Amino acid sequence: MASALETLCSQAFGAGQYSALGIYLQRSWIVLFLWGLLLLPTYIFAKPIFKLAGLTDEIATLTGTVAIWVIPQHFGLVFQLPLTRFLQCQKKNAVTAWVSGFTLAVHVFISWLFVYKLNLGLLAAAIVMNFSWWLIVALLFMYTACGGCHLSWGGFSWEAFSGLWEFIKLSAASGVMLCLENSYYKVLILLSGNMKNAEIAVDALSICMNINGWQLMIPFSLFAATGIRVANELGAGNGKAAKFATIVAVVTSSVIGVIFFALILGYHHMLALIFTSSDDVLKAVNKLSILLAFSILLNSVQPILSGVAVGSGWQAYVAYINIGCYYFIGLPAGILLAILFNFGVAGIWGGMIGGTLIQTLILAIITIRCDWDMEAEKARIRLDKYRVHNVLEAPDASEDSTVP
């Protein structure tokens, strides 16, 4: 839901409406905090939910216990994700990078201390995660409030509570769009818990998803950069520049995806060695490596197109596409392949890759046929709709006021 800021803040920044950014940030905090409260029962009742979903008692119990302990992290994300997007849309990526790097160093040390040295186990790892996420929030807010964003942060304002309904609608559309994408392959792990040799299947898929997740950091960074750059240009009324940014991002990410596709296929028999020494799990990961390679290839393009959608404000439209492609085509096809044709976990994953392929093709067609000048006009109308009173427009006030 925080990705609504990527649309509004980035377009407002491109249009030179700097003081609106701080109000949008506070509105996002309010909306996400309320939604975070509504999501609390899924953490509190995680154990019975997973038991109802068919997972083993051991997995459901352990997951339920950890879920309770990561509730502080849940609320840390409520504040951290909007802050990150607030800074990114102003081209302050170096700040978030330095803060993340420092926090990572601290996180590694205290994880080693509490989990390995003191041998406090999994719950200690959850507590360490809570601390690390809140450290990020504290550092980013200190930078924002202590002069790092003097044009866009004017302090807390009651105006943040006005216009919440329109903001909720855009945030909800953003949340649905990205939640459907992020949850899609998580369903794969959930379903694998109901297969034969569930523990091996879950282990193998978790390893594949971790490898996929590491590589996804590259397209996800381009997702953020593309969405923000496209929104900046649309807010500034530069439709052609938004189109050019889209082309550059898609080509760059595709080339990177092809490289990783080749690496996965070339080292398929060694992929799981950094995670496990179990022969059964190693063999299972080896069998899934071809599906992992194709997932990585598709995911080098799909997030970029989603970034274009966020930058252009198409979230509600893309949410419908995701529902149809993922949950009415990909997931049912995967279940049929797994159950009727006895392909097991590979069948589920294969069907879901098909859903991703169809979704990517549809987004590509929409992007290719897009009238960028019209999108620039829509951005102007959107900013009028979400307009903040007493907006400071100072295109020459600082070096931050220009879009490179």
pLDDT string in tens for the chain (404-residue length):
888 888 888 888 988 888 889 999 999 999 999 999 999 999 999 999 988 888 888 888 888 888 999 999 999 999 999 999 999 889 898 999 999 999 999 999 999 998 888 888 788 888 899 999 999 999 999 999 998 898 899 889 888 888 788 888 888 888 888 888 778 877 777 777 666 666 777 888 888 888 888 888 899 889 888 988 999 999 999 999 999 999 999 999 999 999 999 999 998 888 888 888 888 888 888 888 999 999 999 989 989 999 999 888 898 888 899 899 988 999 899 888 888 888 888 888 898 899 999 999 999 999 999 999 999 998 888 887 776 655 544 444 333 433 33
Q: Does residue 397 sit in helix, strand or coil?
A: coil
- Report CA Rg, the chain: 22
Per-domain residue ranges for the chain?
A: 1-162, 174-388
At position 270, the amino acid (one-letter code) is: M
**Tokens describing residue 31:** 């909306």
Q: What are 92's two structure tokens?
A: 């302050």
Q: List the one residue out of 355, 341, 340, 344 whose CA is nearest residue 294.
A: 355
**Which is nearest to 99 in space by CA: 70, 148, 139?**
139
Asked whether the beta carbons of 103 and 132 are under 8 A apart, the reply is: yes
